Amino acid sequence: MVTYNIHKGGRREEQLLAIGEALRGIEATVLLLQEVQGGGGERERAPQHQVIAAEGWPYTVYGGNRFYRRGHHGNAVMSRVPIVAAINHDLTAARRWESRGALQATVVVGGVEVYCFSVHLGLRRRWRWWQLGRLRELVEALPEGAPVVVGGDFNDWRGDQCAAWERRSGLSAVVPKGRRATFPARGVQLMTLDRLFVRGLEVVEARVLRGRPWSQLSDHLPVWARLRVPTQGAGE
């Protein structure tokens, strides 16, 4: 499992291809991506999630959040195992300023349905409090005890909002080994913006992917975790 804000692929085709190559190299089963350009752009390029998924992830869903004259961007979920359902939830707290969302996708691992959310929260604290409350409602609406993964760019540089959400949501934060900061990708990482939370899954190992090529591909670093569905097999 990987959560990664790709920063619209750097707006260059060669950089987007490099992101896809780097992600294939770590052989993740499920990718939760944010700031994915789903259509349009300056040169009317192909949707970025389709470009990345072409050589490794046959199951892909996308949820557009920010729409503009020549395109849109949002979140994506890509998987090597089947995606059997998906819905894009609107998390916009201030429509005049920011459009945000949570893309929910149900993947099947070893016969078990796992509910995955790719999320990107707002820049202001009051917006994030509302968005985290809505996200908690979405998790509570799922079948009781079902495995859940919530990952994305939470924009919570202090960490207190995510800590409060963890206590209230029934999910547990995935704690990467070593340094946890993910932003900025280049130089010294100062803030832990990108996170994973799980329920009903065993965390075997986790880490923030550092160094080259990751420091050159986006303004965020990815968070990778190896997760296991207890007694039912394993997935990454």
> Residues for the chain: how many in total?
236
In 31-124, which ranges are continuous DSSP H helix? 48-53
Give the C-alpha separation, 227 to 42, whole Å.
38
Q: How far apart, in whole angstroms, are the C-alpha atoms of residue 102 and residue 86?
A: 11
pLDDT of residue 43: 55
Helix axes 125-140, 160-169, angle to 10 degrees: 20
Residue-level pLDDT, tens digit, the chain, 236 residues: 999 999 988 767 888 999 999 999 998 999 999 999 887 655 557 888 888 888 799 999 999 887 777 777 899 999 999 999 999 999 988 776 788 999 999 999 999 999 999 999 999 999 999 999 999 999 999 999 999 999 999 999 999 999 999 999 999 999 999 999 999 999 999 999 999 999 999 999 999 999 999 999 999 999 999 999 976 544 56
pTM of the model: 0.92
- Please report, to the nearest 10 degrees, the dihedral formed by the alpha carbons of residues 154, 183, 79, 26 taken in order: -150
Full set of structural domains in the chain with CATH: 2-235 (3.60.10.10)
| Cα Rg of the chain (Å, integer) | 16
3 state DSSP class of 165: helix
Residue 11 has a pLDDT of 63
- Buried-exposed string 122-132: b where 16+ CB fall within 10 A, e elsewhere: beeeebbbbbb
pLDDT of residue 233: 45
7 secondary structure, DSSP code? G
Whether the Cβ atoms of residue 192 and residue 164 lie closer than 8 Å to each other: no
